Amino acid sequence: MGIPVVDLNDFLQGDEQKKYAFVQALGKAYEEVGFVAVKNHGVPDELIADLYKYVQQFFSLPLDKKKKYEKTEIAGQRGYTAFGTEHAKGSDAPDLKEFFQFGQTVEDNDPIKEEYPDNVFVDEVPAFTPTFFKAYRAFEKSGSALLRAIALYLDLDENYFTDYIHNGNSILRAIHYPPITHEPKSAIRAEQHEDINLITLLVGASADGLQILTKQNEWVGVTSLPEQIVVNVGDMLQRLTNNKLKSTTHRVVNPPREKWNTSRFSIPFFLHPKSSMSLACLTGCINASHPKAYPDATAGEYLDERLREIGLKK
């Protein structure tokens, strides 16, 4: 499926007309599809290549080495989570993946630092952690620009999200779907779900498999070109906008049998605000035909609830 494509340069460097057209195209895509592909996103190709290289080196380590970096006491919010631990909300079947999570590094003496566990340094792959830090900052910058455009589409101040996402609780997650070694019980590697956060930025996965559920209730494959990143709406933004912007259901399916012997790697950046941000529905998104659909909650309260639902938090 060709999802709508936007060029971030139109917003950052274009004239007023181009900037306005970008805002409208982005907002319309998020109302109708929930996904866009973004060109000129600002995350350098060589950084993405390095990221995938070191991620593959980490996941090829023996399991006992990877388990050294497992932090179950913090619900896997940093470090390694073993194969089969996480499941989709409403599903008992574990997803066929292992992953590693890297979070916020507070560098400006903001007291919010106390809320965040330290990131986990991988000894066996020395370039892993510094590369994750660089990529995290690049995704943060790109995501911040997209949220400025979203704010304008919602008739908010352009910088509505800026303070909420500065030192926010975003996560860069490296996922490995290992080769399939025997007849799987299901055709699904990661069961259908919606993301928790405001928006998700995904650089092209190493193999196909991502599918989204259309309004016609059909599953369609999503592919983006190598120079694009796919950006989708998460449940926090859907909730904030009282369902005006859509958090699209998506899943990852198994490859065709002839590719069962291959791994799939995927590196999404889940852009979260600070835990104190209110997700109360915006008044501008509530009217007689769209009554308020959600109770008030903070981002932290909502995240906590969802982590329990997907089995990462007890």
Q: Is residue 301 part of a domain?
A: yes
Residue 206: pLDDT band (50, 70, 90) is: very low
CA dihedral 293, 295, 297, 301 (to 10 degrees): -100
Best CA proximity match to 20, nearest among 28, 124, 229: 28
Q: Is residue 79 part of a domain?
A: yes
Mean pLDDT, range 94-103, rounded to an integer? 85
Q: Which of 15-29, 85-99, 282-296 has the lowest mean pLDDT?
A: 85-99
266: domain CATH number? 2.60.120.330
Residues spanned by the domain of 74 = 5-309
Strands 199-203 and 264-271: antiparallel
Mean pLDDT, range 173-191, rounded to an integer? 74
Residue 86's pLDDT is what?
58
Whether the CB-CB separation of 199 and 305 falls below 8 Å is answered with: no
pLDDT above 70 for 110: yes
Q: Is residue 46 part of a domain?
A: yes
pLDDT above 50 for 307: yes
Which residues, listed in sequence order, are joined to residue 190 by a DSSP beta bridge? 252
CA dihedral 117, 119, 120, 123 (to 10 degrees): -150
Q: Is residue 248 part of a domain?
A: yes
Q: Is residue 234 part of a domain?
A: yes
The mean pLDDT of the chain is 88
Residues sharing a CB contact under 8 Å with residue 102, sequence separation 6 or more, in sequence order: 78, 119, 120, 129, 132, 133, 136, 171, 172, 173, 174
Q: Is residue 148 part of a domain?
A: yes
Give the percent of the chain with pLDDT over 70. 89
Q: Which of 11-20, 194-203, 212-221 has the lowest mean pLDDT?
A: 212-221
Q: Is residue 314 part of a domain?
A: no
Give the percent of the chain with pLDDT over 90. 64
pTM: 0.91
Residue 94's pLDDT is what?
62
pLDDT above 60 for 87: no
Q: Rounded to the nearest 5°, which phi and psi values hold at 65?
A: -70, -45
Strands 35-39 and 5-7: parallel
pLDDT in tens, 115-172: 999 999 999 999 999 999 999 999 999 999 999 999 999 999 999 999 999 999 999 9
The number of domains in the chain is 1
